């Protein structure tokens, strides 16, 4: 299963793609889209959309995960972040990918065990989990953390990865977790 993670922003957007094969998670690709602040917001949004679409087309992920917007003191920044998220999500929808969204706190907790971790701690754990030796931009490691969070979420939900291609479904979940299913007989 391949998962693309996005750390959206109108100045810098991080993209990270991981793959899990037979219980081993590895890095497929990462990129940082540094956007020129002299360009208009619509031009930057188009670059984010096109870059996401290109990565999806090139690497063929099965799932899409993105970090949610958080409310800061500057409402204009929050609105622009929402627009960056929107174009990335539209790229995923136009590619028929399932969308998952995680708060920054959820991502940090999933990857480091602590929802209040620093960017450096997240980057360290991403490098450790993916056995990477080289440093990478913080936005790329954040995007990879989003992808890892989604994978961990699928693991926790289904007890193993969920992928339409290999037949995992709610039926498989119910078969693997009979104690977690409540059924009522309809008369």
Residues known to be catalytic: 7, 67, 139
Which residue, among 66, 27, 87, 92, has the nearest Cα to 149 in the 3D structure? 66
Strand order in the sheet with 63-67: 24-34, 12-21, 2-7, 63-67, 98-102
First to last CA, the chain: 41
Token pair 């907790």: residue: 109
Q: Which of 62, 76, 84 is CA-nearest to residue 13?
A: 84
Please say whether the beta carbons of 6 and 100 come within 8 A. Answer: no
């Amino acid at each position: 299963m391949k998962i693309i993670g996005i750390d959206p922003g109108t100045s810098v957007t991080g993209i990270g793609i991981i793959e899990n094969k037979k219980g081993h998670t590895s890095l497929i690709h990462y990129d940082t889209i540094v956007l020129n602040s002299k360009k208009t917001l619509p031009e930057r949004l188009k670059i984010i959309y096109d870059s996401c679409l290109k990565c999806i087309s090139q690497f063929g992920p099965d799932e899409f995960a993105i970090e949610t917007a958080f409310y800061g003191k500057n409402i204009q920044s929050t609105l622009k972040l929402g627009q960056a998220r929107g174009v990335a999500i539209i790229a995923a929808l136009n590619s028929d990918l399932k969308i998952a969204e995680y708060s920054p706190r959820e991502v940090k907790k999933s990857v480091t065990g602590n929802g209040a971790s620093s960017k450096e701690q997240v980057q360290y754990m991403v490098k450790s989990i993916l056995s990477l030796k080289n440093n990478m931009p913080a936005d790329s490691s954040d995007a990879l953390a989003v992808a890892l969070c989604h994978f961990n979420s699928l693991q926790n939900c289904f007890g193993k990865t969920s992928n339409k291609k290999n037949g995992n479904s709610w039926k498989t979940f119910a078969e693997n977790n009979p104690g977690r299913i409540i059924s009522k007989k309809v008369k």
